[in-house]
Chains A and B, each alone.
Chain A
Amino acid sequence: MTFLTIPSSAVLLEIIQGSLVWIAFIISGGGIIAQSFRLLKMTRKQAMPQLSSNAQYASQTAATAKNVWRHRLSVLKISILETNPAMATVSFIFHVCLFMAPMFLLAHNILLDLAFEVSFVSFSEKMSDSMTVVIIACGFFFFLRRIFVRRVRIITTVYDYMFLFIAVSPFLTGFLAYHHIFNYHLMIVLHILSGELMLVMLPFSKFFHMIFFFISRFMIISEHSMGSPKRLWQY
């Protein structure tokens, strides 16, 4: 007598499309909050800063708002916007699309509506499709950069290719499914699985650099911090 039965592919699909999605969202959301707190626990509040950031220094000393803004812009001038504007632009577009495309995709919003009867506004299908192409193109650019640019290649590991592949694959498979290239059902399953994988990995891998960026540049006082940070690292 057997108690274990292998679930049919329909049941598996049901799990992948249903509970696994919510589990991935919960792990991802909970993970991001927990990891952010863990990071903040490595810092302390600096009541009387001995070391002021450029932005703080500007706001303390500048007489006019104009000076504050001039100073803030000078912080940008020593950033990658100045040293590597091409990469700054591609990275910015890539990361913005990475978040906006899935969030404002009509198909995702329909699913959200079916589940909770709420949804975000949706971009037109053409717009979402174009954003997906942009993400894939940026991903390809990063891939080529890792292979052909010496200074990038010298610090690249096999994991960097893996992370790039994981980041782009939900978009690649989504694109292939939407345009019915290859087997539609297979592409949808791969799309959902890769999306879930990326969500789960976000807080616990190098992907967390996206959150780390905001904590480290906006909340922690340093030469390059922006805004009005009030904390210091205390590792």
Chain B
Amino acid sequence: MKHKIKLEIDTAPIKSILNQNKKQIKLGLSMCAHCALCAESCFLYISNDRDPEYMPAYKFINTIGRLYKKKGKVSKEALEKMGELVFDKCVLCTRCYCPFGIDIPSLITLGRRICRSQGVFREYDK
């Protein structure tokens, strides 16, 4: 479970982050060929028995990608699951390699910003 500050979803800050970075998110989502070639570039994917949830594309599609498609209207549970992906399953080492040059770490960073705006943080004592 993530560290929780009792807070319900407030879509206004989410929407504001989504709007500010709309072009980048849209471009990343629309150019991702869903080829999974970025998988091997993530050391966490390799060192976690190649669990696909650690794949860079999975992480940005299911966090910032989902938030963008749902226009920020997600449940608190969904956001906490996203928090796991962007905080626990990625250390933002920026080593992911996408053959098309999609900047995956910066998309994951946006996912982190949105999680933080809703009181979902990295929990260090897990």
Contact = CB atoms under 8 A, between A and B. Distances in A.
B34 A160 contact: yes
A213 B23 contact: no
Contacts of A155: 34, 36, 52, 55, 57-58, 61
B34 A224 contact: no
Given A79-B99, A208-B31, A217-B101, 9 more contacts: A84-B40, A151-B55, A157-B34, A206-B33, A212-B31, A212-B101, A213-B101, A222-B101, A235-B23
Contacts of A208: 30-31
Contacts of B39: 151
Contacts of B3: none
Residue among A84, A154, A155, A225 with max Cβ neighbours from chain B (10 Å): A155
Contact of B100 (A78, A87, A209, A223): A209
Interface residues of B, number: 29
Interface string A35-58: 000010010000000000000000
B97 A42 contact: no
Interface of A: 39, 42, 78-80, 83-84, 87, 91, 149-152, 154-157, 160, 206, 208-209, 212-213, 216-217, 220, 222-225, 233, 235
B36 A212 contact: no
B119 to A, nearest CB: 27
Given A42-B23, A208-B31, A235-B23, A152 B100 contact: no
A139 to B, nearest CB: 14
8 closest cross-chain pairs (CB), A and B: A216-B101, A235-B24, A83-B40, A151-B52, A235-B23, A152-B36, A154-B52, A151-B36
A42 B27 contact: yes
Nearest to B24: A235
Contacts of B94: 223
B37 interface: yes
Nearest to A146: B34
Contacts of B52: 150-151, 154-155
A222 B34 CA distance: 21
Residue among B50, B55, B94 with max Cβ neighbours from chain A (10 Å): B55
Interface string B35-79: 111011100000000101101011001000000000000000000
Nearest to B37: A80
Contact of B37 (A84, A206, A223): A84
A157 B50 CA distance: 21
Nearest to A213: B100
Nearest to A205: B30
Contacts of B123: none
Given A152-B34, A206-B30, A224 B58 contact: no
